[in-house]
Amino acid sequence: MIKHLKRKPSFLSLLVGVLLVLLAVIATLQYRWLGRVSAGERELMQANLRVKARSFGEEFDREISRAFTIFKMDADTLRGENTNSEYAKRYDKWVKTSENPQIVKNVFLAKASDGGRFQLLRFNEALRAFEQIEWTSELEVLHRRFEQRQTSKSETGAIFTGGTDSIVEEIPALVYSIVSDTLIDSKTNYRRLNWQHPLGYVIVALDLDYIKEEFFPILAKSYFASGETLDYNLTVTSRNDVKKVIYQSDPEFKDVENSIADASEKILNISFNKVKSYSSERIYQTPKSPNQNKSDFTLIIPAMKDDEAAADKILLLDDGGHWELRVNHRAGSLDAAVANARWWNLATSFGILLLLGISIIMIVVLSSRSQKLARRQVEFVAGVSHEFRTPLAVIYSLSENLAAGRIKDSRQVERYGATIHKDVRRLTEMVEQVLEFAGAERGKYFYDKNPVNVGQLVEKILTANAPLLRESGWHVEKRIEPELPPVSADESALERAVQNLINNAVKYGGDSGDSRYLKVEAYRATNGQKPEVEIAVEDNGNGILPAELPHIFEPFFRGEEATLAQIHGSGLGLNLVKQIVEAHGGRVKVESTRGRGSRFVLHLPALAAGAASLNPPQTSEVI
Ligand code: ADP
């Protein structure tokens, strides 16, 4: 039977092996595939992010460029009488057409007066006119620069002409020079712009608080959020001073200086394209100038014609912007986000594969178990029929002889009676076992638990077995520890369990002769902190084959040697012992050495020590 059992798992393990190899191949393919998917996903995310960063920058710069275009002023408007009303119209246009008019905090006019001085006027929206004010500390930087330029002899120096040149980051403000032009040649209408001494400047002061607290968050939400929260951390820094942080979407986020952001974009620029689209004046982009690799463009004021303007170009350099928008994924970086997503994908798909693997193994194990059980049941039916047939045949013929009155000798009648009694007892035991097993299997077995005195119980069982044991020459030793605590048990069930162990010891415990030895013990023990009572049944028989040890408590299991030697049995005894003990919250353990014998121990939880029972003060004794 054992050989038969061993052949099956090898076929099954081959099947499991093949399936597991298949799973490993699928896992490898999945791993590679997910790697490729992640790389693709990363590229896509990167490209999307760049587009979003650009759109953010363009939307912001569009507002800046519109403010610049609407509020700039030419010499005629400044000199004319309708400066205020003209400007009020512009102001209305700005408020009407801009989506975020609040980005402009104030519009100032710095007007050149005698001696290279400048007076400051502020446009009052309520009065719809410029009113003179004192130079504020905020604008002092510009005041000094204007005066320096007015008195300097040099042609070079800061001129506010457009592009990033017209942005003063410190305030921040947009500045436009109002310059006069002089007619040089009436025939060609050639005019020269007087950059050296502008008539004045328009200063459009931006509201940095509004930009930081309202405008940037609105833009961030529309480009970088899914739902309510931002998927990315946004940082705006000054390009002149990288450490100067202008805006941060998450104040906790540390944008590592000089680290490569997932995407970056230069912003805060008056860009040519935008000025062109918002300006009523004619603007042309020049070819790339040989001295600079940036493209520049020409703004031609209305009084000039295209071909006449060559000598007086106003360069609007388009070199990107004063600020830099840096975008990093919330996970740290795009790479980290993709790696995260990849990890999750791997974890889920490998989890599914693992489940699949476990299911395969479980199906194989369960089917092999149920096969084993079915085989045992068939063997059990065959074995039990045989077990029944032998004693029944004996009883049949002996009782027939007795009934026919063929046996007259009273000693012979006694022997016949004893044999019939022994066989009936064997049959009863087997029927009991089968019925009990069937009941326990269906969960119908109920135990009526009461405090049981284990010492007395063992005593009772041994007394009942004593005549038979003595007759067959068994050397029985008992050791019952005095003052054993009681256990909560169904006494008759516990008795059956101990009786089964004694029966097994008798069946497998040794050949005939003096070597037949049985030891039954009951003593106190502990399981961790919990008190226990242990009942041990020990024999010095042949022991159990190590390969069979893990199976002896399975239902219908019969040892190879027991089957070969035709020792009667159903393979249910130990399973019932296990079921009974476990139903009492205990466990059964076995130690067995080939050639030395076996020791079965029932561990039963003891009731409170206070309920100690009165055992006879008895120790080791031979009966
Ligand atoms: P059965 O005795 O009817 O075969 P059990 O469930 O009581 O069924 O025992 C299962 C098997 O365990 C036995 O067939 C035998 O091989 C082995 N076994 C049980 N008790 C002993 C023992 N005391 N010594 C050696 N083998 C034992």
Instruction: Give 393-445 pLDDT, tens digit per residue.
Output: 999 999 999 999 888 888 999 999 999 998 898 888 888 888 887 776 655 56
> Residue 302's pLDDT band (boundaries 50, 70, 90)?
very low
pLDDT score of 2 more than 60: no
Calpha distance 457→480 (Å, rounded): 11
The rounded Å distance from CA 570 to ligand 1 centre is 9
Q: Ligand 1 atom closest to Cα of 575? A: 6
For ligand 1, mutation pick of 474, 500, 574, 591 (most atoms within 8 Å of CB): 574
The dihedral region occupied by 305, where left means phi > 0, alpha psi between -120 and 50, and beta the remainder, is beta
Per-residue pLDDT tens for 515-541? 789 999 999 999 888 999 999 999 999
- Parallel/antiparallel/unpaired status of strands 167-168 and 173-178: antiparallel
Q: Are strands 200-206 and 263-267 parallel, antiparallel or unpaired?
A: unpaired
**What pLDDT score does 143 carry?**
92
Residue 158 has pLDDT above 70, yes or no: no
Q: What's the CA-to-centroid distance between 157 and ligand 1, angstroms?
A: 109
> 488 pLDDT exceeds 90?
yes
pLDDT value at residue 304: 37
The pLDDT > 70 percentage for the chain reads 81
Q: Residue 512's pLDDT is what?
A: 54
SS3 assignment for 220-251 = HHHHHEECCEECEEEEEEECCCCCCEEEECCC
Tell how far the Cα of 615 is from the centroid of ligand 1, in angstroms.
31
Which atom of ligand 1 lies at the shortest distance from residue 600's CA? 23
Mutate which of 2, 504, 589, 594 for ligand 1 pocket (most atoms within 8 A of beta carbon): 504
How far apart CA 447 and CA 445 sit, in angstroms, is 7
Other CB atoms within a 10 A radius of the CB of residue 272 amount to 22
Q: How confident is the model at residue 119 (pLDDT cuts 50, 70, 90)?
A: very high
**What is the three-state SS of 8-41?**
HHHHHHHHHHHHHHHHHHHHHHHHHHHHHHHHHH
Helix axis angle, 410-441 to 573-583, nearest 10°:
50
Q: Is the CB of 562 under 6 A from ligand 1?
A: yes
pLDDT grade for 74, boundaries at 50, 70 and 90: confident
Q: What's the confidence (pLDDT) of residue 162?
A: 64
Kindly report the protein residue whose alpha carbon is nearest to atom 16 of ligand 1. 559
Whether 615 shows a pLDDT value over 70: the answer reads no
Q: How far is the CA of 549 from the centre of ligand 1 (A)?
A: 10
Q: From the CA of 558, how far away is ligand 1's center (Å)?
A: 6
Per the model's pLDDT, the better-predicted residue between 369 and 115 turns out to be: 369
Averaged pLDDT for residues 469-491 = 91
Q: How far is the CA of 530 from the centre of ligand 1 (A)?
A: 30
C-beta of 597 in contact with ligand 1 (< 6 A): no
Other C-beta atoms lying within 10 Å of the C-beta of residue 113: 10
Task: Verify whether ligand 1 is closer than 6 Å to residue 541 (CB atom).
Answer: yes
Q: What percentage of the chain exceeds 90 in pLDDT?
A: 43
Ligand 1 within 6 A of CB of 160: no
Contact 433, 576 (CB under 8 A): yes
Ligand 1 proximity of 179 Cβ (cutoff 6 Å): no
380, 427, 507: residue to mutate for ligand 1 pocket, most atoms within 8 A of CB: 507
Report the distance separating Cα 569 and Cα 563, nearest Å: 9
Residue 88: band (very low, low, confident or very high) from pLDDT cuts 50, 70, 90: very high
How far apart (Å, rounded) are the C-alpha atoms in residues 418 and 394?
Answer: 12
Measured over the CA atoms of residue 26, residue 29, residue 32 and residue 35, the dihedral's sign is negative
E strands, 42-178, are 104-112, 118-124, 129-133, 167-168, 173-178
Q: How far is the CA of 544 from the centre of ligand 1 (A)?
A: 8
pLDDT level of residue 297 (50, 70, 90 thresholds): very low
> How many of the other CB atoms lie within 10 Å of CB of 235?
21
* pLDDT score, position 613: 45
- Specify the 3-state DSSP secondary structure of 570: coil
> C-alpha dihedral over 511, 513, 515, 519, to 10 degrees?
90
Atom 19, ligand 1: residue with shortest CA distance: 504
137 has a pLDDT exceeding 70: yes
- Say yes or no to pLDDT of 618 above 90: no
Confirm or reject: Cβ of 573 under 6 Å from ligand 1.
yes
pLDDT at residue 161, as a whole number: 62
Distance CA 22, CA 33 (A): 16
Ligand 1 centroid from CA 552, angstroms: 7
According to the model, what pLDDT value does residue 502 have?
94
What integer is the mean pLDDT of 588-598?
A: 93
Largest CA distance in the chain: 167
130 lines ligand 1 (CB under 6 A): no
Give residue-wise pLDDT tens across range 174-217.
998 888 877 666 765 555 667 678 899 999 999 999 999 999 99
- The protein residue with its alpha carbon nearest to ligand 1, atom 3, reads 569
Give the helix/strand (H/E) hosting 184.
Answer: strand 181-185
d(CA 51, CA 228): 21
Q: What is the mean pLDDT of residues 448-459?
A: 93
**Residue 229, Cβ neighbours under 10 Å: how many?**
10
Among candidate residues 174, 163, 201, 165, the one with its CA nearest the CA of residue 103: 174
- Poorest-pLDDT segment among 119-128, 531-540, 560-569: 560-569
Please state, in angstroms and rounded to a whole number, the distance separating the CA atoms of residues 109 and 83.
11
Interval 239-248 mean pLDDT: 87
Classify burial at 467, counting beta carbons within 10 Å of its beta carbon; exposed 0-12, middle 13-18, buried 19 or more: exposed
Q: Is 571's C-beta closer than 6 angstroms to any atom of ligand 1?
A: yes
SS3 409: coil
Alpha helix segments (H runs only) across 72-159: 75-79, 83-97, 140-151
Q: Residue 375 in contact with residue 396, Cβ under 8 Å?
A: no
Q: What is the distance between the alpha carbons of residues 286 and 171, in angstroms, rounded to a whole number?
A: 31
Q: Which residues 6+ apart lie within 8 Å of 14 measured at CB?
A: none
Query: Count of CB atoms within 10 A of residue 377's CB?
Result: 13
Write the burial class of residue 457 (CB in 10 Å: 0-12 exposed, 13-18 middle, 19+ buried): buried
Specify the pLDDT at position 50: 94
Q: Is 429 in the pocket of ligand 1 (CB under 6 A)?
A: no
For tokens 């830099």, name the residue: 324
Which DSSP symbol is given to 211?
I
Average pLDDT over the chain reads: 83
Tokens of 362: 């479980």
Residue 340, amino acid: N
Residue 9 has pLDDT above 90, yes or no: no
C-alpha dist (Å) from residue 434 to 332, 394, 431, 442, 494 = 69, 22, 5, 12, 17
367's enclosing H/E stretch is helix 334-403
| Residue matched to tokens 């620029």 | 269
Atom 8, ligand 1: residue with shortest CA distance: 571
What does the pLDDT read at residue 455? 94
522 Cβ inside 6 Å of ligand 1: no
Eight-class DSSP state of 147: H
Residue with CA at minimum distance from ligand 1 atom 23: 505
* Whether the Cβ atoms of residue 451 and residue 611 lie closer than 8 Å to each other: yes
Q: Report the atom number in ligand 1 closest to the C-alpha of 560.
A: 16
Rounded CA-CA distance 39/452 in Å is 72
570 ligand 1 Cβ < 6 A: yes
The whole-number pLDDT of residue 31 equals 92
Place of tokens 């063997």: 379
Helix (H, G, I), strand (E, B) or coil at 326: strand
Q: Is the separation of the CB atoms in 571 and 556 below 8 Å?
A: yes
DSSP H or E stretch at residue 335: helix 334-403
* Cα 533 to middle of ligand 1, angstroms: 24
- Vertex 155 angle, CA 154 and 158, to 5°: 100
Determine the residue of 426, 429, 508 to mutate for testing ligand 1's pocket, defined as the one with the most ligand atoms within 8 A of the Cβ atom. 508
